[in-house]
Structure 1
């Protein structure tokens, strides 16, 4: 965080509090994880260091950290807030949710719906979620097995110039170009089309140019944007843990601050009087869920 870090911290705290309340309403439970883990192939990102004997990661990718600690594929609905490092001493603050072991068709619907309610509870209405599909691209490149990695690299970088450089026919380039630029509220991929129809929100799109995120994501991946900022507000996707289907999403909290304009202040009951009266009344009000401001 730069600039006025106290005000930024206050805003981040407000955003995190509202998102916590949102995911609690969806029946997710917060998980608290250690800041340092022993380095291993199952962990992504993080900043590596050594104590002279072993290698460790500071604040790795949370999803990989969660999965490295789970011992059984049972249904879990979790959320977290953490800074995630990527080789540096400072990183991105994330608020994420993971739905593990549920019905594959339902989990994507719930995760995307929780994104919508979370943003709306923050007073953010101007956003859109783009959903892409790896399976669509795997099918489209089934006749290009030796070039599939190059096509996915072009997708990741959103660079069609990389496609133009490939030794493929013009007809195939046209097919890839159409997929690369496809964005609509209906599509030919039946599974994704059903999701769009079920959620039925004008801010949700099929976008086959959206195939990014973490390497462990499988078919559907999604990214969250707002016209008010050039940075993605978050990303997510489907993955598998052991034999269980799963779906997750992470908000970039600092990007959210670019579009978060604050909340209408709750009316706080102002308490005065002697210290004895104030402390008794304050405890009583807080115990009953009343927000207060005590005159000191």
Structure 2
């Protein structure tokens, strides 16, 4: 997506607000190089060759973490552009909790997501929580057709499943999962997440899927009725032998909903030497200032 200079200023404003929330949750920012050596484990990015070697520009952040992180437990966040074979990409703000405890980790990361959106004045959203393992269990015995089932979920086209050479009873069971959305699912792990979060905007939805292949079980997407595309999403994955969970928000989508919030600041006027001395003192105390000589 192409942005104007004004858009970039507002994207930076959104990013700064999100940084403040992530910092309050005790997450530390990580920065990535724009260019990575190509490997099969790195997702997305725009591929190019240089000196007979292949590289990718701005690939997916989570796949970088899965490949490279080897430092125990961590709470980290990032704000970066992600390309997907093109020269213009998506600006994302993401959070990753690595090595968390169950069930805390499944509640903490969606809680960070909820407060992040609320900090931007976005309250009318809902989070759909699904499960990779539920679908693995539902397709046990019809493993050759799992890719078709996944494609049906991604495209929201049950006709793909209907055309499969499987029993009518199995199709009815898949139809029920395909269309399930509610507060209690009968899956203990998911029901506990919804109950512990205790937010009316959180739903269990087995039709929720994520396109990236590294998710191992819990997945979620966040939507707003004011926008016809997800605001972001995430899920559970493995880093080595450690469980991790994270999400990424699409800053371009947030830009369409964000109305801006004026930050109160102290306006200072007067003789330059004195006014800037006073401004420095206020900034040291964390008080925003605006100098008007």
TM-score of the aligned structures, taking structure 1 as reference length: 0.96
Matches of 2:70 and 2:137 in 1, distance apart?
34
Residue 153 (structure 1) aligns with = 151
Matches of 2:260 and 2:281 in 1, distance apart?
28
1:42 aligns with 2:47: no
Matches of 2:56 and 2:89 in 1, distance apart?
13
Deviation at 1:168, TM superposition (A): 1.6
Residue 109 (structure 1) aligns with = 107
Matches within 5 A, 1:185-264: 185-263=183-261
SS at match of 1:27: coil
Residue 116 (structure 2) aligns with = 118
Matches of 2:221 and 2:194 in 1, distance apart?
15
How many residues are matched?
293
1:284 aligns with 2:281: yes
Query: Could you give the per-residue CA deviations for residues 255-277 of structure 1, whole angstroms, max 9, x where no partner exists?
Result: 011211111x2222111111111
Residue 269 (structure 2) aligns with = 272
SS at match of 1:232: coil
Matches of 2:177 and 2:122 in 1, distance apart?
30
Residue 293 (structure 1) aligns with = 290
- The answer (yes or no) to whether the contact 2:215–2:236 under 8 Å persists in 1 is yes
- Root-mean-square deviation (Å): 1.2
- The answer (yes or no) to whether the contact 2:66–2:238 under 8 Å persists in 1 is no
Residue 50 (structure 2) aligns with = 51
Matches of 1:27 and 1:283 in 2, distance apart?
27
Deviation at 1:66, TM superposition (A): 2.1
Matches of 1:139 and 1:44 in 2, distance apart?
26
- The answer (yes or no) to whether the contact 2:268–2:279 under 8 Å persists in 1 is yes
Query: Could you give the per-residue CA deviations for residues 155-194 of structure 1, whole angstroms, max 9, x where no partner exists?
Result: 1222111111111222221111111010001111111001
- The answer (yes or no) to whether the contact 1:228–1:258 under 8 Å persists in 2 is no
SS at match of 1:230: coil
Deviation at 1:281, TM superposition (A): 1.4
Query: Could you give the per-residue CA deviations for residues 189-244 of structure 1, whole angstroms, max 9, x where no partner exists?
Result: 11100111111111001000002231100111100100010010001000011110
- The answer (yes or no) to whether the contact 2:2–2:88 under 8 Å persists in 1 is no
Matches of 2:188 and 2:102 in 1, distance apart?
15
Matches of 1:223 and 1:285 in 2, distance apart?
41
Residue 7 (structure 2) aligns with = 8
Deviation at 1:69, TM superposition (A): 2.2
Matches of 2:102 and 2:42 in 1, distance apart?
24
Structure 2: where are the runs of 5+ without partners?
none
Deviation at 1:52, TM superposition (A): 3.1
Matches of 1:291 and 1:139 in 2, distance apart?
54
Matches of 2:61 and 2:229 in 1, distance apart?
21
TM-score of the aligned structures, taking structure 2 as reference length: 0.97
Residue 31 (structure 1) aligns with = 30
